[in-house]
Copies of this chain bind each other. A is one copy, B any other.
Amino acid sequence: MAGLRRLVLDVLKPHEPSNVLLAVKLSEMENVEGVNLLLREMDQNTETLKITIVGDNLNFDKIRKILEEFGAVIHSVDEIVAGRKIVESVKTEQD
């Protein structure tokens, strides 16, 4: 395993098509092992999501395209994990 292994995305999305469809669609991409989609905030027309995608050699551009097909926009990429091994962030005295 190598390349992109985990991405955490902050995403703005209209209510439809549904988040259930989006999660399943992302999970069916090549190289994706699993997807966690968390609802952060729900407004009248949009919702803010935190999406965690785990896999091997993830293709960031294809992920962004699928999000766009759902009318969603990536606000920020909050975490990127890459390499042979999944490395967790370590808490330091500066946190």
Residue ranges of A at the interface with B (Cβ–Cβ < 8 Å): 2-8, 10, 19-20, 23-24, 26-28, 32-42, 50, 52-54, 60, 76-90, 92-95
A83 x B8 contact (CB < 8 A): no
Are A78 and B52 in contact, with the CB atoms below 8 A?
no
Task: Show 19 residue pairs from A and B whose CB-CB distance is below 8 angstroms, ordered by the A residue.
Answer: A2-B27, A4-B24, A19-B80, A23-B80, A24-B82, A27-B82, A34-B82, A34-B85, A35-B82, A35-B83, A36-B89, A37-B79, A37-B80, A37-B81, A39-B78, A52-B87, A52-B88, A53-B87, A78-B93
Known: A4-B20, A20-B60, A92-B8. A38 touches B78 (CB 8 A): yes
Partner of A93, one of B38, B80, B93: B38
10 closest cross-chain pairs (CB), A and B: A34-B83, A27-B83, A27-B82, A34-B85, A34-B87, A78-B92, A23-B80, A23-B82, A36-B87, A33-B85
